[in-house]
Structures are given as structure tokens and as C-alpha cells.
Amino acid sequence: MKHSKMISRRSFLQAAASAAALSALALTGCGSSSGASSAAGASSAASASGTTYKVGIVNYVDDASLNQIVASVEARLDEVGAERGVTFNYADYYSNAQADQSNLNQIGADLVADDVDVIVAVATPTASTMLAAVEDTDIPVIYSAVTDPVGAGFDGLDNITGTSDALDTDAIMNLILAVNPDITQIGLLYDLGQDSSTQAIADAKAFCDANGISYIEKNGTNTAEVQMAVEALAASGVKVVFTPTDNTIMTAELAIYETLIEAGIQHYTGADSFALNGAFMGYGVDYVQLGEATADMVVELLCDGKSISDMPYRTFDNGTATINTETCAALGLDLETVKAAFEPYCTSVEEITTAEEFA
């Protein structure tokens, strides 16, 4: 079994800077593209520039988190392509499945028919479907934002790897207690069908049990159901709600955050993109960093002669809490007091205001 590789924000930036400097000095292109298997087996990065690679990028659904990853992957591929004199053609091979399994199946079949050099699969359902699609082909899959690669069955396979947005649930629970030391009940809001929520919710329940906190669970599989779940949570009188890196809730956040505020509910979530869309707080992976690291794995595969087995999946530190200052004020909380409470449990505390997408 492969082991995950933990990357801190600082070491990631240092490594990226070093790699960019080496690329500029080498002035070399990537290996020639004659299918993914030959790219993976190339002996070095020193090969003719001018090569074009077909990079399929498949997004699971439109939400601030996943869209941020896609934008970051594309920007990083453009940057490296310019440095190395090659082209990563993703524009002709990008698709968004809009959380529809039949769409995912068709997208996978189309990319295989297009004989792309690699498929970048964003989110666990996308990765699972793309893995099935490339069976009996030499096309590798590099995923992004798969919360539990081992649980998904990806670890140890020779044609799939990528980056994980695994969440430190206990850290979020500690943030909740830091602001609400006398809390006796927590709401859990998630989609039962989201693999990204399974372990985090189990961890949250275990934390609550260990600390004598009761919990109330509400679920939804689409925005309308999530809105009903939030209304039920509000009616229950719960004042704190936890949501992990759940794509269904992320998609619905803009539709529910005002209801949560009106009910006086602090929404603690597993990514800064929730806070961007109105949640009180997001904690976890930097999705720009996640996208950049995913793109770098594509480059290592296609350009540097690495194979999937050379690249264990990568995880990241979860040290940043992002507070929505507008929501904080609307909940009647003092921003400086909240930041002071968070600081012992975070490497950094950031501020954000409500918007639909990251600028």
C-alpha cells in the first residue's frame, strides 16, 4: 500500500519555487506525447518543446470549492506549459457533470474515445467513474479533492493517484468549543450519499460522545432537501451546525446561509469556500494549493517520466480557519473575540465576505 505524503503550505511553496527555478535553468520541454503509457515511461524531462498534451478535466458539480480547484489546475498547467514550451490542452477536454451520474459515464466514455493523455477527476464520484472508464486502457487518472482515497479503493492501484482534502474533524470540533465552551448539542448537516462526509461525520459523532455533547442529524441530497433540513435544524433550536467537505451542502450554501443566520446558527464547515458563500466559518485545505499540487502531478506524469506508482497520493495540513466577517457580525459575535478564541487551534485565521465565487 502506498503511504500519503503530507505537505505543509510553507514547504509546498518552497518546493514549487525550487521547481520553477530548476525549470527555468533547464529550459527543457516535456517528453513526447504518444499516449499516456509512453509519457509515464519516459526516461527524463529533456525532450523537444512544442509538444501538446490532451488533458481531460472533469468537474463533479458547480460549487465554489470545486470550481476553485479547476481554475487552479488550469492556471498551473498554463504556467508550467509556458515555462517548458509545451501545451496542456484542457480547454477541448473539460466537462462538468453537474452531479449527474449518467453525465459522468458519458464524459468518461468520450474522453477515452478522445484518447486523452490523462484525466484529472475532481471529487470522489468523478474519480470512481473515470477509473471505471479507463479500464483496459493506458490512460491514467489523477484525482483532486478525494477525501478518503483508501476508503474509496484507490490506494495501491497502478493507474490512479492524486490529492486528498482529508479533513481534521477534531480540529473543527475544538474551534466550536473554543467559541461555545458550554455547548450541549451540535447539528450535523450533510448528504448521506457523499463519500467525503462519511468519515468526518463518524469522527464528529465520536468527538461528541467523548465530550458529552448530543447531536441532531439532518440530511439532503439536493438544494431543496438541504433547505428543508436547515429549517428543521432551526426549529430544533440548535445553535451550532457542522458540515464537512460535502459537495451537496456546498452547492446549497448560498441558498441556506441567511436562514442559518436568522436562526442564530453558527455554521462550521470543512472549507473556506463555504465561508465565501455565507457560512460562519470554514476550516481546512487551501483549494488553490490543492489544485496546483494536482497539476504538478500531471506534469510529473507527462513531462518528468514518473509513473503513478512513483507518486503516492498527497494530503495537506489543515491549519487555516476562515471567518465570514459579515456573518459573524449578523450572528452578534465579536470578530476579535472569535479570532482570539480560534488562534490557539490554527496556524492562521483569515477573513472573508460573502460572494458567489473567489475573485
333: CATH: 3.40.50.2300
- Do 211 and 340 fall into the same domain? yes
Q: Which domain holds residue 216?
A: 169-284+319-352
Does 226 reside within a domain?
yes
The verdict on 213 and 88 lying in the same domain is: no
Count the helix, strand and coil residues of the chain and give each as a percent rounded to the nearest 5: 45, 20, 35
Per the domain annotation, does 71 fall within a domain?
yes
Which grid coordinates belong to 215? 447531536
Please compute the mean of the pLDDT values over residues 78-95 and round it to a whole number: 97
135, 198: one domain:
no
Report, in angstroms and rounded to the nearest whole number, the Rg of the chain calculated over CA atoms.
Answer: 21
- Full-model pTM: 0.81
**In Å, how far from its chain's centre is CA 351?**
20
Burial of 249 (0-12, 13-18, 19+ CB in 10 A): buried
Mean pLDDT of 234-243: 98
DSSP-derived pairing of the beta strands 320-324 and 281-284: antiparallel
Q: How many folded domains does the chain comprise?
A: 2
Instruction: Give the tens place of pLDDT for each residue, 217-235.
Output: 999 999 999 999 999 999 9
The whole-number average pLDDT for the span 227-244 is 98
User: Could you say which DSSP state residue 234 is in?
Assistant: H
| 150 plus 61 within the same structural domain | yes
Q: What is residue 6's predicted lDDT score, i.e. its pLDDT? A: 42
Query: Do the domain assignments include residue 324?
Result: yes
| Residue with the larger pLDDT of the pair 17 and 303 | 303
Asked if 19 and 122 sit in the same domain, the reply is yes
Q: Is residue 147 part of a domain?
A: yes
What backbone phi and psi angles, to 5 degrees, belong to 156?
Answer: 90, -10
Asked whether residue 296 carries a pLDDT value surpassing 80, the answer given is yes
